[in-house]
């Protein structure tokens, strides 16, 4: 199985984001986890070298957040 990147769009869900990232980290084959904070005010902290955090300045909606994350993905 080849590796993959996972995109997680979020907006003010800091309390759930940590659990979500921890779940993905434990998944076999994950190379990068791209978290796109879509202009939210909450800040989550995740300490894993595979996590890339992108912050949008304004809330552009879930589709825009997913597209931004996909643009950053590198794995097949």
For residue range 48-74, what is the model confidence (pLDDT) as tens digits?
888 998 988 888 899 999 999 999 999
Mean pLDDT of 10-24: 86
Residue 63's pLDDT is: 92
Q: How confident is the model at residue 1 (pLDDT cuts 50, 70, 90)?
A: low
- Element (DSSP H or E) covering residue 55: strand 51-56
Structure tokens, 42: 């909450």
The pLDDT assigned to 2 comes to: 77
Residue 14: the pLDDT is 78
pLDDT in tens, 24-47: 988 899 999 999 988 888 776 777
In whole angstroms, give the CA distance from residue 56 to residue 65. 8
Q: What is the CA radius of gyration of the chain?
A: 12
């Amino acid at each position: 199985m080849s590796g993959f990147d996972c995109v997680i769009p979020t907006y003010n869900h800091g309390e759930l984001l940590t659990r979500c990232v921890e779940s993905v980290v434990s998944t076999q084959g994950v190379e990068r986890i791209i978290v796109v904070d879509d202009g939210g005010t909450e800040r989550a902290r995740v300490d894993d070298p595979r996590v890339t955090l992108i912050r949008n300045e304004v809330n552009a909606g879930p589709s825009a957040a997913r597209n931004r994350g996909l643009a950053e993905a590198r794995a097949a």
